[in-house]
Structure 1
Amino acid sequence: MSRAVGLPFVLFLFASLSAIAFPARAQDAERVRIHGSQTLGHALVPGLAEAWLRDIGYSDMRIRRPRPALTEIHASRDGQPLIVEIAGSDSAQGFTDLVEGQAQIAMMARRPNAAELDAGWQLGDLGSQDQEFVVALDGVAVVVNRRNPVVRLDFAQLRRLFSGQSRQWREFGGNQGEVRLHLDPGAGAVRDLMNDRVMLGTAFGEAQRHRNARELIAAVAADPLAIGLIPIGEHYGDGTKPVAIADGGRAIAPTRTEVLSEDYPLSRRLYLYGGQMMGALSRSFALYAMTRAGQRAVARSGHLAVTLVPGRERPVSAGPAEYRELVGGAVRLPLSLRFNFGGPGESGVAANVFDSRAVRDLDRLRSFMALPPNRGRRLLVVGFADASAGSTMAAMMMSNDRADLVAQELMSRGLRVEQARGMGTALPLAAALPGGARNPIAGDAGSRYRNERVEVWLL
């Protein structure tokens, strides 16, 4: 073989072997596979994964997108490669992939339904804090022009408005004029939540479309007859205002406290789920999402982090006089502790009486009260029951029991509880259905689940 022919051949052979070796290395790299809801997969989980990799010592990060809705984050530590594979589709596909072993973590914008729980029985206790991770919250705000006199709407009214079935503001207590709808087609999470909670199969009516939420807000601010939908967390601006929303209970405005407490009816949890045999790296990622560093990454992605932030004292006008007097002068903390009911037979969740977020919120409360401004301060615990308890007396007893249970948990963590008190069925958030049945409008969260809760106030 001549030298002129041999050198190109050697170079060709080397390049061929390198091309084969690189995919083999990527193929051999350990993978953390995270599949499911595109709401989480678009920005939240990729941002969270990058922060996690940096914090546990990985470097040389490279982001690749082999196809739409698939993000791969390549990194290495001590010469060992790792790929975090984030495949966005929907919650149902993510859970299916978890059941079939195609993913170690499922991203879901809801809890698994009964059929999914049956299919995934082998995964373990998917309601426990070891397998269910509430990573963030999101929601929908309904905005109108600031000159519009309408201040509250219920789900049925929202459905009539956004389907175009009702076209006159005077039907809702507004001024004379035809309703003008505004939507952002790119806000998929907004559309999904509205479909699940409000529209219930009814199509949206004709609306003016905008490229983003800021353009929508500007259009509503310029039109006294406009109404629009924006993601929670967007700045309303001077010309618009949010509307309080009712789901069979009291109308609630989308303040930070009401959204973080999940009392606002157009808010929802965003979840990560893992099987009981999660690998070490997968579990490390899910647990990192629960830390303050992980929640800072969540906030940077544009979602609402599940953290305890200082509130401020504000007058309380809702509820019976007894309740208003009880909480007067106190500051509501941005959480509502909620419960599991009957374990796998009824709800497919953990035997622990607290749901997975409540378990972590109790620990967050301990850390929050350890901060210098809060040391030595006392807590007020207020419990509520659902009308499905059967009678006024039974509901009052249940609410007292729930309040006492939370007070005991707080005191066991070294916190000072001034008083624990039940308020029965006062201040319902959702319409109670016979026997604690699920409210179809409330989506994944049944009426009993939403109404049976415990508030914590700072004295």
Structure 2
Amino acid sequence: MSRVARITVLLWLLCASALAHAQMDAERVRISGSQTMAARLVPAVAESWLRDIGYQQIRRVAARASVTEIHAVRDGQPLIVEIAGTSSARGFQDLVDGNAHIAMMTRRPTAAELDAGWQLGDLASHDQEFVLALDGVAVVVHRDNPIAKLDYAQLRRLFSGQVRDWRDVGGRGAVHLHTVAGTNSARDVMDERVMQGASYAPATEHADGEALVRAIAADPSGIGFVTLRQPWGANVRPIAVSDGGRAVSPTRLAVQSEDYPLSRRFTLYGSQMMGALSRSFALYAMGQRGQDAVTQAGHAAVTLRPGYRPTTLVGPNDYRELLGTATRVPLSLRFNFSGNNDSGVASSVYDSRAVRDLDRLDAFMRLPMNRGKRLLVIGFADLGAGSQVAATMMSNDRADLVAHELMARGLPVLHARGMGAQVPLMRAGGPNARYRNERVEIWVL
């Protein structure tokens, strides 16, 4: 080897060594959890965050299997955002063990997880729980299928093979099942919400949601499920789904308000001792720029968008008459029933998304297009309150609570009214029934 070649190799080795040491010494933000969130969503938000806080030389590195690193430099100081796509359970355990600053989860922590992570603080607090995006599942059929709605029990019977003829659920002809092959996020939701341990019957398997939708478009007897991120085209339509309450279709309004039963949250969790950088990232993700990155990554953001009047209003006459020509704001304010902090009392009466939705609603109503408009605040309760009378009282209390909050912010509230348990989203008595049914709608008139 010539002298020049030896010097070149030596310089290369020195540079490589310096780079390796710089990476070892770089500050890191460690994020661990859901594979679905780690694939595109969180890296997109992280890159946007780094750009907006002044970092340069931003690049993605496939560090090892299931781990993406985003490298960046600011003022000569390197930073690495390490994103490990494993599972919601693994992400939470990494947070408990101190191996991650932020956990990515597609569900809320279980009671057992909360007990194991008691030292993390109040994970239902808006200071530690950050709802990043919305996702879910659409159950799709051919547009000529007469079935308009199905409940969880009917879906379970269909996909487990107990129902083989559409006539058993109000349709016609033999049932043809279609699924996406292998583990995927849509199947995760169906497993948890619908199948509940039941096995799937043999079905025609497809490589991805796009292929499944094409097959349904050519099969008038077909039924399948895909993520809400999958377009379904002209010859395919989603059906309304019920979990013991009213059947809800996966419209934009129903998904953003989380009234649709097969919607779910993509959430970031941090401990009460989150570092400055990890908290900066989580808070950035809640803001408009972070939510723009969510949308660009192909997911449903939680920032407030203009609403509309549903084509069909489900509810008692006084509900429909009160609303008149009002349009629905695409949110449902829900409440915090966890009380997982040291005092056993929830840090806020509202859940973490509702805390931020109140701020978003405040900003939304101050836009020029909403000048002079007024708000209708409609509360609902769960029949688990004990009786219809108790449910009505509870719904009135919830509506009044929100109305007073909005008026304290200087927003004009025309009416606040409770509707009791008349329009449930879920059957009473279920483990999440109170959380789902006890909610407040906001309408603009």
Taking structure 1 as the reference length, the TM-score comes to 0.93
Instruction: Quote the residue 1:255 is aligned against.
Output: 251
Select the residue among 173, 195, 200 that pairs with 1:204.
200
Deviations 1:253-273 (A, max 9, x none): 111111111110000111000
Sort the Cα spacing of 1:8 and 1:252 in 2 relative to 1 into closer, same or farther, 3 A.
Answer: closer
Is residue 238 from structure 1 mapped to residue 224 from structure 2 by the alignment? no
**Contact 2:244–2:427 (8 Å) recurs in 1:** yes
Aligned to 1:185: 181
The equivalent residue for 2:424 is: 428
Corresponding position of 2:304: 308
Q: Does structure 1 residue 379 correspond to structure 2 residue 375?
A: yes
1:441 corresponding residue in structure 2: none
- Residue 89 of structure 1 corresponds to which residue in structure 2? 86
Correspondence for 2:335: 339
Q: Specify whether residues 294 and 21 from structure 1 end up closer, same or farther in structure 2 by C-alpha distance, changes over 3 A only.
A: same
Q: Distance in 2 between matches of 1:350 and 1:48?
A: 29
Q: Cα distance 1:345–1:19, how it changes in 2: closer, same or farther (>3 A)?
A: closer
SS of 1:293 mapped into structure 2: helix
Alpha-carbon distance in structure 2 between the residues aligned to 1:238 and 1:323: 34
In the alignment, which of 94, 104, 109 is matched to residue 107 of structure 1?
Answer: 104
Q: Can you list the C-alpha shifts for 1:290-315, whole angstroms capped at 9, x where unaligned?
A: 01111111111111100211122244
User: Alignment partner of 1:282: what SS?
Assistant: helix
From 433, 438, 443, the counterpart of 1:452: 438
Residue deviations 1:16-37 (CA, integer Å, cap 9, x gap)? 3333222111010000000001
Distance in 2 between residues matched to 1:348 and 1:235, nearest whole Å? 44
Deviation of 1:179 after TM superposition, in Å, equals 0.8
- CA–CA separation in structure 2 for the residues paired with 1:15 and 1:51: 32
For structure 2, list consecutive stretches of 5 or more residues without a partner in the other structure.
none
Is the Cα–Cα contact under 8 Å of residues 182 and 226 in structure 1 kept in the other structure? yes
1:225 corresponding residue in structure 2: 221
Counterpart code for 1:69: S
Given that 2:151 and 2:247 are in contact with CA atoms closer than 8 Å, whether structure 1 keeps it comes out as: yes
CA contact (8 A) 1:340 1:349 kept: no
Does residue 1:391 correspond to 2:387, yes or no? yes
1:38-83 deviation digits (Å, cap 9, x = unpaired) = 1111110011111111111111112111223110010101111000
Quote the residue 2:353 is aligned against: 357
Q: How does 1:155-174 map to 2 (within 5 A)?
A: 155-174=152-171
* TM-score normalised by length of structure 2: 0.96
Is 1:28 the equivalent of 2:25?
Answer: yes
Change (3 A) 1:307 1:7: closer
Inter-CA distance 403–35: structure 2 relative to 1 (3 Å threshold):
same
Q: Deviations over 1:330-372 (max 9, x none)?
A: 1011100000125128998832100000000000001111111
Q: Which whole-Å CA distance do the structure 2 matches of 1:260 and 1:218 have between them?
A: 26
* 2:270 is the alignment partner of 1:274: yes
Q: Indicate yes or no: 2:54 matched with 1:57.
A: yes
2:340 partner SS: helix
CA contact (8 A) 1:125 1:349 kept: no
Instruction: Give, as a single letter, the amino acid of the residue that structure 1 aligns with 2:66.
Output: A
Q: When the two structures are aligned, how many residues end up with a matched partner?
A: 445
The residue number in structure 2 matching 1:418 is 414
Structure 2 residue 15 is the aligned partner of structure 1 residue 18: yes
Q: Assess if the C-alpha contact under 8 Å between 1:44 and 1:298 holds in 2.
A: yes
Q: Return the alpha-carbon distance in structure 2 between the equivalents of residues 323 and 214 of structure 1.
A: 40
- Cα distance in 2 for partners of 1:33, 1:237 equals 39
Partner Cα distance (2:344, 2:193) in 1: 21
Whole-Å separation in 2 of the counterparts to 1:348 and 1:451: 23
Query: Counterparts of 1:346 and 1:184 in 2: how far apart (Å)?
Result: 44
Please tell me the root mean square deviation across aligned C-alpha atoms, in Å.
1.8
1:8 positional shift = 5.6
Deviation at 1:7, TM superposition (A): 5.8
TM-superposed CA distance for 1:386, in Å, is 0.5
Residue matched to 1:195: 191
Alpha-carbon distance in structure 2 between the residues aligned to 1:9 and 1:368: 65
- Equivalent position amino acid for 1:284 in 2: S
Report if aligned partners of 2:141, 2:239 keep a CA contact under 8 Å in 1: yes
Structure 1 vs Structure 2: percent identity of aligned residues? 61
Aligned to 1:98: 95
SS of 2:329's equivalent?
Answer: strand
For 1:5 and 1:152, how far apart are their aligned partners in 2? Answer: 77
